[in-house]
A and B are shown apart, each in its own frame.
Chain A
Amino acid sequence: MVAEEYYEFKPEAKKKIAILGAVGIVLFILGVFLAMGSGSGHEEEHASAQTLTNLVASADQVAAAPEVTAEEHHGSPVWLKRIYTSLWQNNIFFAGIGIIGLFFVTIQYAAQAGWSAPIKRIPLAMGQWIPISGILMLVLWFIVKADVFHWTHHDLYVEGDGFDAIINGKSGYFFWPLDAGGFPLFFILRMVVFFGLWYLFFVWIKREMLAEDINGGTAHWTKARSLSAVFLVIFAVSSSIAAWDWVMSIDTHWYSTMMGWYVFASWFVTGLAVITLLVIYLKEGGYLKMVNANHLHNLGLFVFAFSIFWTYIWFSQFLLIYYANIPEETVYFVNQMNNSPYSWVFYVSIIMNFVLPFLLFMTRDSKRHMSMLKVVCVIVVIGHWFDFYNMVTPGVMQHDGGLGFLEIGLTMVFVAAFLYVTLLALSKAPLVAKNHPMMGEALNHHI
């Protein structure tokens, strides 16, 4: 039905990605030197951070215990902690974009959507990042754990100065079935199982989609739909728990029942924006001729709708914490908002993730033209990077966090790696499904 179309991963594109990565590394090294140089002038800020901790802790029932441990566990120098924080944040962010690629494909199957038939290979290629981010996450965890995850410290679970009743109460969630304070078997097991399941379903669904090109018929489509339905159930649970594990457990005392949805919403809208940007990139390269303004309109609607969904979740979390004003919950936003080095990120992220996409994408025409889609999708991706920055950094760095060449450089390296893996995967299979049973519907898509 459709002429065979292959994406060619040209040397120029590879060169551009390599340059992006190289500039990222240079900026990163520059950032590290700058951060090392400015390490000495932090004594006063430490004092103010300590006052804040006191303020919160005095209202907290754990009394004075956690401050002492916080003092003891300053651990690595600030510049190293910044590297760890940024690595962890970027890996969660990009792992999310990869897994949303697979998630997007599966919801298209589960909803029996026809319009997306020509573009399904792009989110599928993004899924190629899942195993890489999984291995990276596992390796990184062992490197960064002492600095990023407060709960990994052994003395929190031992009677004495460092004992923390709240964290001790949650120890089963991390360490079961082993002893608290030792190896967090349950935590690591979850990480391995989630990435394993996601990758397994990615392989299965990809196999069905590629077999369809050769064999035709509807059997592969039906099989992929069944797999998708099962995956969606698994993903609903695993994405939520993953958010508690990898993001919420950084602020171990704090908890929010919205966190699972919140991280998912942020991932999803970022993934949608990346899919849209890749579709536009391919269209501008002369590929995907059958994708017209109607398909772009649908992608734009997705980004618009889920920007609002993210805002809804964000606000649901914020309003309850703001109104209830329970100190152990409010501290999370105190660290992000007032008199904090992160307050500008906090407000900028709301503007970039809600106000701008909401106003710019409101009209029909803006979602049908590639120029506007490009602008808004880039805003959304950067905005959600800021969002993840504020989910991870304040909890780890307290008042020492920074956003400079170090973080920007590392992010550029991640972008380069992600693009390389995605585009390489895209070039290995036909760009457009040849025997998709709904291709006819997609070609006549009209909204």
Chain B
Amino acid sequence: MESNKNFVLGVFDDEDILLQAVTKVRDRGIKIHEVYSPFPVHGLDEALGYKRTRLPIAAFVFGMTGTALALIMQIWMMGYDWPMIIGGKNFAALPPFIPVIFELTVLLSALGMVATFLIVSDMKPYKWPQQFDLRSTDDKHILAIDLAINKLTKDDIGALLKDSGAQEVNDKNF
């Protein structure tokens, strides 16, 4: 496999030093590819400048789709396709439809959110994940910087990472 993606990795074992390093690296105008950590680090999202996810909007749209689908389905079935008298109620009475409306709303918003999340995060079933450093699943935080999108050289970035408190600075090519 030809190596067309080159990364510099900073390895940290303390989340406070990691947070300072992230701020320092970003202040120098270097774009960070991603930070991998064994546990959620409070304030990391803000330090990396990530915007809040727009997943709730997708959830709302999918949920509304479920609501509409359930309403249309039941009104069509019970009101037009095969009207049945149940308990002397109207053919298309709203109250008994509400449990189905609720269930379909929840189902579609949940499935839609999962699907949206997988697509947006580029997590297709056949896709093999890029593993920068397996220690990020154990006791180290890994700060990955993509060389292709940054102007500084590998050595400059490495020196900066060392300067910010990285224990090791490694290369990774995919």
Contacts and interface: CB of A to CB of B under 8 A. Distances in A.
Interface of A: 315, 318-319, 322-325, 362-364, 444, 446
Contacts of B88: 325
| Secondary structure dominating the interface of A | helix
Contact of A319 (B43, B60, B96): B96
A319 B99 CA distance: 10
Contacts of A444: 42
B129 interface: no
Contacts of A325: 87-88
A315 B60 CA distance: 22
A446 B42 contact: yes
Contacts of B98: 315, 319
A325 B43 CA distance: 56
A319 B56 contact: no
A319 B95 contact: yes
Interface of B: 42-43, 52, 56, 60, 87-89, 95-96, 98-99
B95 A323 contact: yes
A103 B99 CA distance: 30
7 contacts: A319-B96, A319-B99, A322-B96, A323-B95, A363-B56, A444-B42, A446-B43
A324 B99 CA distance: 16
Contact of A362 (B43, B52, B60): B60
A362 B88 CA distance: 37
9 nearest interchain CB pairs? A322-B95, A319-B95, A446-B42, A325-B87, A323-B87, A323-B96, A315-B98, A325-B88, A318-B95
Contacts of B52: 364
Nearest to A322: B95
B96 A364 contact: no
A315 B95 CA distance: 9
A174 B52 CA distance: 57
Given A325-B87, A325-B88, A446-B42, A364 B95 contact: no
Contacts of B87: 323-325
Nearest to B98: A315
A315 B99 CA distance: 10
Contacts of A363: 56
Nearest to A325: B87
